[in-house]
Chains A and B, each alone.
Chain A
């Protein structure tokens, strides 16, 4: 599992996170939610070792700060919010970069085919030969997810669960691909791995997350299952928005929930 205790992050002289505890279990999708600027991405960056932090982060029982990049890379893969390139790589070449650490966990000899299989998983069949820079933002995000999937293709390696860290994986996607991506995360967890995702959509969060951590002004405001966390009072306090959980819109106003997907 991933455990973080008493995490604080200060950038410049501004404290972004203070004393946050966090845990993500294998077999579960863990969501991090919160308003803009509440420290979600900062927490993710601390958990992946990208930012300096105080406190302790452990990855499958080992202290993250003592792990080399190559060791950490066998335990988890990270999808950033967006990735820009300065050179004209093809989609295939980008996805193949996920195999750089050589620990995909796929059967011997299968690595060569993983990029195409990963692209098929994110619904980008036939995109391998396209140039990354010519794709839309949502397509680029799915290419990066395919790369991340290649890195930890097997959710469990040598008996140890592996993790996906996803920073707003669906923010630039249409509704179909939001479901495709969230299903990939859930499937990864069901097969023994773990997924940690920053999400904005309450409905998607309620549908897919097993556990939610709510950040508010750099501190943990609540943690628990969707039913425990998604309450009117919490949403009003944290998001400064008076919303009613479970209320239906009046009259003939149409509304569409992801839960209704067939």
Chain B
């Protein structure tokens, strides 16, 4: 009997019916491997024939390469072009997917996505305002905060929209998801209209920048840009797993989450600020990349269930992996030119989204 009681908890915990923790951990391990592989793939492939493996080997062994000029070129390509791009892809893929998962938990709805309900549009508006008005009306701001102006403006744009949504959709402590989605559509339309006004005011050079940027792209990845957004995204990504228990409880409704001991208001504010920060920073450097935030968490819920303790880290891993793969497609499919990555994610994501609506009509319960 004594023997049994010592062995029992571990065995029971694994065997408990309906407990998908073990499977979730296995999936997270697999996704980690997939991410490492796709990072390797992204570093080694590209328009040039630069060999990341050789650069890495030379760096590790300290060997002096036979052709010094070629080695220098390769090193530049790998260090200054591919590496920042891969890093940015990882950060943004993770940020978008985790933001989607958190937003869906917060609004208790699998359709909530920063891109759908106007948060991205708000971020775009902030970013476009800085691009177009940065040297005129907003000059004091850009002078004061320097290169941080763009990510900050995108962040406040996203935060403003999220806050508006929250105020409009919440009455007497209850958040109406239908109101939220409708308000999101209206706010997104308004933000896009204002963005349109700004684009109308833009000169030709700004216009081309904006168009490309609005479609979404990782092409502008540089180390300084990463330096500006990485702290924001990393902070948001590190904070959000702490919300997972609260978001799980929130699945039962706000009142019940409160009865379970969750400080619901603080949870909601933290989630909203975190999502706005992550999405705002992402939009600021890479434009609007759609569908990662809705497709990734949904796929993972099918595989490991909706427990946010596993869903959030798994979303980060799968989001990063999918965005790197999408970027690989964007870079190579029309080489030597490249496709905006937002087009790739939309072409793959939109049909998937429709498929969710067709097959899983029951779970999308407004």
Listed in ascending order, the chain A residues whose CB lies under 8 Å from chain B are: 11, 45, 48-50, 68-74, 76-78, 80, 83-94, 96-98, 100-101, 103, 109, 112-113, 115-116, 126, 128-130, 133, 151
Chain A residues closer than 8 Å to B245, beta-carbon distance: 100
A-contacting 9-mer, from B10-18, B64-72, B136-144: B10-18
- In the complex, given contacts A87-B110, A93-B306, what are 8 additional A-B residue pairs having Cβ atoms less than 8 angstroms apart? A69-B261, A77-B259, A87-B108, A90-B18, A90-B20, A97-B252, A100-B260, A129-B18
Q: Which of B17, B109, B172 contacts A86 (CB 8 A)?
A: B109
- Give Cα A77 to B260, complex, Å: 7
Chain A residues closer than 8 Å to B306, beta-carbon distance: 87-89, 93
How many residues from B make CB contacts under 8 Å with A?
A: 34
Given contacts A86-B251, A89-B251, A89-B305, contact A100 B9 (CB under 8 A): no
| Nearest CB of chain B from residue A184's CB, rounded to whole Å | 18
A97 and B249 contact, CB distance less than 8 A? yes
- Give Cα A15 to B365, complex, Å: 32
B248 and A97 contact, CB distance less than 8 A? yes
Chain B residues closer than 8 Å to A90, beta-carbon distance: 18-20, 305
Give a binary string over B240-269; 1 marks a CB under 8 Å from any A CB, 0 the rest.
000001001101110110111111100000
Closest to A45 in B: B255
Chain B residues closer than 8 Å to A100, beta-carbon distance: 245, 248-249, 260-262
Q: Which of A70, A91, A94, A112 contacts B12 (CB 8 A)?
A: A112
Given contacts A88-B305, A90-B305, contact A50 B16 (CB under 8 A): no
- Give Cα A109 to B12, complex, Å: 12
Nearest 4 A/B pairs, CB to CB? A92-B18, A73-B261, A87-B306, A90-B18
B18 and A73 contact, CB distance less than 8 A? no
Chain B residues closer than 8 Å to A80, beta-carbon distance: 253, 255-256
A87 and B9 contact, CB distance less than 8 A? no
- Give Cα A72 to B256, complex, Å: 12
| Nearest CB of chain A from residue B263's CB, rounded to whole Å | 5
Chain A residues closer than 8 Å to B251, beta-carbon distance: 85-87, 89, 97
| Nearest CB of chain A from residue B232's CB, rounded to whole Å | 28
Q: Does B363 contact A (CB under 8 A)?
A: yes
A93 and B18 contact, CB distance less than 8 A? yes
Chain B residues closer than 8 Å to A73, beta-carbon distance: 259-261
Chain A residues closer than 8 Å to B249, beta-carbon distance: 97, 100
Closest to A74 in B: B261
Closest to A99 in B: B260
Q: Which of A50, A86, A94, A130 contacts B258 (CB 8 A)?
A: A50
Q: Does B301 contact A (CB under 8 A)?
A: yes
Q: Does B307 contact A (CB under 8 A)?
A: yes
Chain A residues closer than 8 Å to B110, beta-carbon distance: 86-87
Where chain A touches its partner, the secondary structure class is mixed
Q: Which of B258, B263, B305, B362 contacts A93 (CB 8 A)?
A: B305
| Nearest CB of chain A from residue B332's CB, rounded to whole Å | 37
Give a binary string over B1-43; 1 marks a CB under 8 Å from any A CB, 0 the rest.
0000000010011001111100000000000000000000000
| Nearest CB of chain A from residue B357's CB, rounded to whole Å | 15
Q: Which of A85, A112, A128 contacts B13 (CB 8 A)?
A: A112
Chain B residues closer than 8 Å to A130, beta-carbon distance: 18
A92 and B16 contact, CB distance less than 8 A? yes
- Give Cα A88 to B68, complex, Å: 58
A-B pairs with beta carbons under 8 Å apart, 14 shown: A50-B255, A69-B258, A71-B261, A73-B261, A80-B256, A83-B252, A89-B251, A91-B18, A93-B19, A93-B305, A96-B19, A97-B252, A101-B260, A116-B16
A86 and B252 contact, CB distance less than 8 A? no
Given contacts A112-B12, A112-B13, A129-B17, contact A151 B260 (CB under 8 A): yes
- Give Cα A109 to B13, complex, Å: 11
Q: Which of B9, B253, B256, B260 contacts A109 (CB 8 A)?
A: B9
| Nearest CB of chain A from residue B135's CB, rounded to whole Å | 46
Q: Which of A45, A48, A115 contacts B16 (CB 8 A)?
A: A115
- Give Cα A77 to B259, complex, Å: 6
- Give Cα A240 to B258, complex, Å: 37
B248 and A48 contact, CB distance less than 8 A? no
Chain B residues closer than 8 Å to A126, beta-carbon distance: 17
- Give Cα A45 to B18, complex, Å: 31
- Give Cα A232 to B63, complex, Å: 100
Q: Which of B12, B16, B258, B260 contacts A97 (CB 8 A)?
A: B260
Closest to A90 in B: B18
Chain A residues closer than 8 Å to B261, beta-carbon distance: 69-74, 100-101, 103
Closest to B260 in A: A100
| Nearest CB of chain B from residue A137's CB, rounded to whole Å | 15
Closest to B258 in A: A69
Chain A residues closer than 8 Å to B305, beta-carbon distance: 88-90, 93
Chain A residues closer than 8 Å to B108, beta-carbon distance: 86-87
A88 and B363 contact, CB distance less than 8 A? yes
Closest to B362 in A: A133
Closest to A115 in B: B16
Closest to B311 in A: A87
A86 and B307 contact, CB distance less than 8 A? no
A128 and B18 contact, CB distance less than 8 A? yes
Give a binary string over B291-316; 1 marks a CB under 8 Å from any A CB, 0 the rest.
00000000001000111000000000
- Give Cα A112 to B263, complex, Å: 24
- Give Cα A83 to B255, complex, Å: 10
| Nearest CB of chain A from residue B146's CB, rounded to whole Å | 41
Chain B residues closer than 8 Å to A93, beta-carbon distance: 18-20, 305-307
